[in-house]
Structure 1
């Protein structure tokens, strides 16, 4: 009589207890997955950087080996008989082609000519594309025998190194260097002295001069010397 009876359906107990927000466990799982993805990407990036660094280091090492091969070949030419390139020490040893008399720092005209004929070989290699990538400089090292005091021999070894540089800038004699070659020598060569710290088996062998090749590190570039055209001066040694 009063119309149909309206029945309200009550939600079940299970539906009432279901949370509206995502559960804490699901949230932690999602965060863990996200963390693993980020770490995976980061590890891949680091691995890629390490691999590229190793490739650069390996290529740099190969370039140095190639340049040392060229130094060996240059020293083996007939006109440079007696000059050797010691690969492990990275040193050009002139042997008896540039030995000094006892207590002296002078070289004979023939010895000076030998030095001036070989140095252009060094400059050619140093200024090649390969040389510019890996070669830093040339250190001229003079040595003495064990006779005498340490300080007197140290001074003598420095004079012998300086004599070699003076030979490069000579204005008279055979096989003179050009002005451009002299500029390269001034830019690349450095004087060093080693007294009798690396004496050879005999006194004669110890009284020698060597040129040590220094190489650049990976990513390092050769520093350019300030431009100083000419004005080489005269040798202070007599």
Structure 2
């Protein structure tokens, strides 16, 4: 059985890109969609459902490692739990940490045969351990990088708000003023649907023309959309 897990952090985000990427690689995958804000795997009902359903030989596909978890410790823990249960894990954007790759690394270590020579066998044993540690470090590094990206985004956002406040700029909407989103919403939908950064086919200049907005406005909307994806 193949399960595809797609998660977005806010209802404003578009989950279709993740679904499309998974189905392109695994057209028979059963897709589970989830809107969840947070970093922990605990409380992700759809992911918990897949984990309970998955059996040895089944496959769980994620568009990216940060869809499984942005918390390194919990992500690695869940990865190892599922690996030990014989469940295959696939990360489309980080194939170097797929369980098939990890299993191959461990197999190469286990394939080192004992020689009967005590000193040589000690070296072989140490080599096996080193190869296993290196493979596990690659997995942890991927989850740590995902967590760092989110932490850095939150830090930059906080610093930007503080800088703007110190420069006397208005933070947030002025009380009593209505926010005009009539132009922003359709423009963002065009960017999300057609720009190459979100799985589309148009470059930035082509999207600017299609959306009918200024370059500065376009890049503002694009930054906001990318920030939403990282949440």
Instruction: Quickly name the TM-score band, shorter chain normalised.
Output: under 0.3
